[in-house]
Structure 1
């Protein structure tokens, strides 16, 4: 990462961790991705934006492999996703060969605009839902 994108990552992550995510996690309509902490083994819930297509949920990580939830997925791809207030079990797949900018065009507009504006290393993720 360049110095500028590293600074952007630190500032956005700090804002999300301390202000945006705690508020968003409380909203019943917010989509949450639950991973298992790779060190702690505890559930980690991250507000995300994305869309269900068939039996898969698609999202784009704004910081790619630097995102803690992406690192948790690498350690254990079994996840849960809360969509419309209902939890779904699934298996997450990191898709570095997918075009994340093109993918964002098919996902909810507001979240996609924020990911494009604040992201520095976009990465597409597909969660294959089991139920």
Structure 2
């Protein structure tokens, strides 16, 4: 027995709709940046980081807060691009992989971005799903809505980026 009853389908669908809207709400998604800049990133725990990247066209510093889905080693963090390859932060780190990251109340730390090949992405996603099955059950449909395509067990269509801290 799992203990907690499953959510009714109607409630689960509403939860997915709310999560999808939240991912698309620019103001809501940018709110954590203020907290990271105030050195309050510790409020988000170890599952979040703030990424500073350079706009590929403007050259302006840009910021986004992302969920860490895996830590393959102590000097690296893996994140997912919930909007696929069309996410601006993703396009910017492809163009310029030299970034800075804030973790908890620490930062900025220099890092290098690496787009993960499918086999390593599948391994990272598998670890995340096994550690956080409830979060994945809720977020998978929301991510599929924002991506516009299904996500299989290997994470197909779900771009992942590994940030490796400088000096590791």
Query: TM bucket by the smaller chain?
Result: 0.7 to 0.9
Point out where structure 2 has 5 or more consecutive residues left out of the alignment: 1-19, 148-156
Specify which of 101, 116, 129 is matched with residue 95 of structure 1.
116
Q: What SS does structure 2 have at the residue aligned with 1:33?
A: strand
Aligned equivalents of 1:113 and 1:122: distance in 2? 15
User: Which residue matches 1:14?
Assistant: 24
**Over residues 33-56 of structure 1, what are the superposed CA-to-partner deviations in whole Å (9 max), with x where a residue is unaligned?**
111011111111101010443211
CA apart distance, 1:65: 0.9
Larger Rg: 2
| Mapped contact 1:80–1:89 kept (Cα < 8 A) | yes
Q: Greater shift after overlay, 101-110 or 54-63? A: 101-110
SS at match of 2:140: helix
Greater per-residue strand proportion:
1
- Cα 1:65–1:47, aligned 2, differ >3 Å: closer, same or farther? same
**TM-score scaled by structure 1?**
0.74
Does residue 1:124 correspond to 2:144, yes or no?
no
Partner of 1:3 in structure 2? Answer: none
Match of 1:81 in 2: 101
Bigger proportion of residues as helix:
2
Query: 1:35 aligned to 2:35?
Result: no
Q: Indicate conservation of the 8 Å contact 2:112/2:165, yes or no.
A: yes
Q: Which has the higher contact order (CA 8 A, sep 6+)?
A: 1
1:106 aligned onto 2:127: yes
Q: Quick one: distance in 2 between partners of 1:86 and 1:114?
A: 29
Give the alignment partner of residue 24 of structure 1, picking from 27, 32, 45. 32
SS in 1 for 2:91: helix
1:5-60 deviation per Cα after TM superposition (whole angstroms, max 9, x unaligned): xxxxx966531x122x2222133224201110111111111010104432111111
Matched pairs, number:
120
TM-score with structure 2 setting the length? 0.60
Query: What residue is the counterpart of 1:7 in the other structure?
Result: none
Q: Any stretches of 5+ residues in structure 1 without a counterpart?
A: 1-9
